[in-house]
């Protein structure tokens, strides 16, 4: 996968059924050493130190030196034959899971921020997998020794457009009550809080109150489930594009007037439900 943010590849590690995801800037020796150093530190911090690694044949002298200095034994699979690699099935599963995450982000989500979605992708993936030493536990529960609490740390679709409520103590008197951003993942060290990326300032923040604005799903789908593509020669716009009268007290994003032009390749989504004045509560 490609990214203009500097991360172009993904390192996938399997340990007792748990899948760990680490982004790589490139396939250079420096990137591999940095990624594997993070992997070793990650499992060691959770009291699951690694002792042996089975790898493909992409390596370097710097990488083997790192393994030896970390007291790790290692072996490589036969060249051009990955069937003997235990992680191969996990790599395929993780790849499909990440693809599904990237396919469901908001249409305006900056694609160069895909590494920010990996923490929740890893969470949702491992809560559905079993822990090999004790299959009655999820992989997340087995590695962290406690089950993930969805009540204390609720999750939402990653990459979704949100408006984060700004605290009255920090915002100006006549400022907007919220800031546009993108939901990334739950904040593991905060109660019912979320990690949010703000593209305007290119910054991150832990937020508590969010308003979610998902993409319209099949906007040309009628109530009966039949497709009703609007006729471009029609003299009147289709019902779902008719704006509310100006007297309507509380306009919403779904009722604001939108252009009838539809971009090719966006699955029928109108070109812009983009920044429009709206009332925030």
Q: Is the pLDDT of residue 241 over 90?
A: no
Label the pairing between strands 178-186 and 210-212.
Answer: unpaired
Q: What digits encode the pLDDT tens for the residues 113-142?
A: 999 999 999 999 999 999 999 999 999 999
- How high is the pLDDT of residue 7? 67
243 Cβ contact partners less than 8 Å away, ≥ 6 residues apart: 255, 256, 257
Cβ atoms within 10 Å of 32's Cβ, excluding its own: 20
Mean pLDDT in residue range 149-169: 91
User: Which residue in 14, 92, 23 sits closest to 53, CA to CA?
Assistant: 14
Q: Which pLDDT band, with edges at 50, 70 and 90, does 37 fall under?
A: very high
Average pLDDT of the chain, as a whole number: 79
What gap in Å lies between CA 15 and CA 86, rounded to an integer?
10
Question: Higher confidence at residue 174 or residue 248?
Answer: 174
Tokens for 77, please give them. 């699979």
Label the pairing between strands 52-55 and 161-165.
Answer: unpaired
- How high is the pLDDT of residue 85? 85
Question: Higher confidence at residue 251 or residue 97?
Answer: 97
CB < 8 Å & 24+ apart, contacts of 58-64? 58/27, 58/32, 59/32, 60/29, 60/32, 60/33, 61/29, 62/29, 62/30, 62/32, 62/33, 63/29, 63/32, 63/33, 63/36
Q: Is the pLDDT of residue 87 over 50?
A: yes
Q: Is the whole-model pTM more than 0.85?
A: no
Mean pLDDT in residue range 241-254: 43
Q: What digits encode the pLDDT tens for the residues 197-233?
A: 999 899 999 999 999 888 754 444 444 444 444 454 5
- How high is the pLDDT of residue 59? 87
Tokens for 243, please give them. 């704006």
Contact 48, 15 (CB under 8 A): yes
């Amino acid at each position: 996968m490609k990214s203009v943010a500097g991360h172009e590849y993904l390192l996938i590690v399997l340990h007792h059924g748990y899948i760990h995801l680490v982004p790589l800037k490139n396939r250079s020796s420096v990137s591999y050493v940095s990624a594997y150093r993070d992997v070793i530190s990650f499992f060691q911090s959770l009291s699951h130190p690694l002792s042996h690694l089975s790898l493909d044949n992409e390596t370097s002298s710097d990488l083997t030196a790192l393994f030896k200095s970390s007291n790790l034994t290692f072996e490589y699979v036969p060249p051009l034959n990955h069937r003997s690699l235990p992680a191969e099935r996990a790599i395929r599963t993780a790849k499909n899971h990440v693809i599904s995450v990237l396919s469901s982000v908001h249409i305006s989500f900056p694609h160069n921020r895909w590494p920010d979605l990996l923490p929740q992708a890893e969470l949702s993936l491992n809560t559905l997998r079993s822990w090999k030493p004790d299959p009655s536990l999820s992989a997340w529960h087995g590695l962290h020794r406690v089950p993930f609490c969805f009540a204390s740390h609720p999750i939402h679709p990653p990459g979704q457009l949100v408006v984060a409520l700004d605290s009255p103590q920090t915002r100006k008197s006549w400022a907007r009550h919220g800031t546009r951003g993108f939901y990334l993942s739950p904040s593991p060290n905060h109660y019912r809080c979320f990690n949010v990326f703000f593209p305007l300032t290119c910054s991150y923040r832990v937020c508590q109150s969010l308003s979610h604005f998902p993409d319209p799903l099949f906007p040309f789908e009628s109530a009966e489930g039949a497709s009703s593509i609007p006729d471009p020669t029609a003299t009147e716009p289709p019902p779902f594009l008719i704006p509310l009268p100006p007297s309507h007290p509380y306009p919403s994003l779904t009722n604001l007037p939108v252009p009838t032009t539809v971009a090719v390749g966006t699955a029928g989504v109108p070109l812009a439900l983009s920044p429009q004045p709206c009332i925030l509560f």
